Amino acid sequence: MNIATVAIVAVLLCSGVAGTAAAAPAADKRTAIPSSARIDITDAHAHATVPAQPVGAVYMTIASDSPLTLVQATTDVAKDVQIHDMHKHAGVMRMREIKRPQLKSGEKLVLAPGGMHMMLLGLTRQLKAGETISMTLRFEDKDKKQIAKNLNVPVQPLGKK
């Protein structure tokens, strides 16, 4: 290995390390100020996708004992996750993004087929019936304290609700 090759390898290693290091401080900050909100997530499921399908959908019911904002959802199987709502425009059902949906105390956020849902954008692979995908939801309570929930979301066959 000559010097030029060594330099290139070093650059590649450094860029890899920089990527993980950038995410770490934010995680530390989040765990430092935990919220006492009690969040109950039920009926979480995703729909299976066909090969090369770029998007997927996840559904669940989120309940909280105190006011809460869903600030972010992430998963390792998609580049981005958005919360979408359905609305009718000129007779056609369309989706629009709902940024930071809010829950009032004792209220439920129902994400279900035909209504609000989590849209997985830029799927990195096919979602197969019977497997589970992991997701992380980040919430913020009324005092701006953060709470994160890790979920294992079962993938259901296409056509099943």
State which residue has the least CB distance to Cu ion: 84
From the list 2-10, 18-26, 95-103, 108-116, the region that binds Cu ion by CB under 5 A is: 95-103
Backbone torsions φ then ψ of 90, nearest 5 degrees: 50, 40
Q: Which of 73, 53, 58, 75 is nearest to 125 (CA)?
A: 53
CB of 108 to Cu ion, least distance (A): 20
Distance separating alpha carbons of residues 71 and 95, to the nearest angstrom: 19
Backbone torsions φ then ψ of 20, nearest 5 degrees: -75, -35
Backbone torsions φ then ψ of 144, nearest 5 degrees: 70, 15
CB of 121 to Cu ion, least distance (A): 9
Nearer to Cu ion by Cβ, of 63 and 121: the residue is: 121
Question: Quick check: 119 binds Cu ion (CB under 5 A)?
Answer: yes
In sequence order, what DSSP letters do the residues of 69-106 get, joined into one string?
EEEEEEETTEEEEEEEEEEEETTEEEEEE-SS-EE-TT
Question: Quick check: 121 binds Cu ion (CB under 5 A)?
Answer: no
Q: Which of 56, 64, 84, 137 binds Cu ion (CB under 5 A)?
A: 84
Question: Quick check: 63 binds Cu ion (CB under 5 A)?
Answer: no
Question: Quick check: 95 binds Cu ion (CB under 5 A)?
Answer: yes
* Residues near Cu ion (CB under 5 A): 84, 95, 119
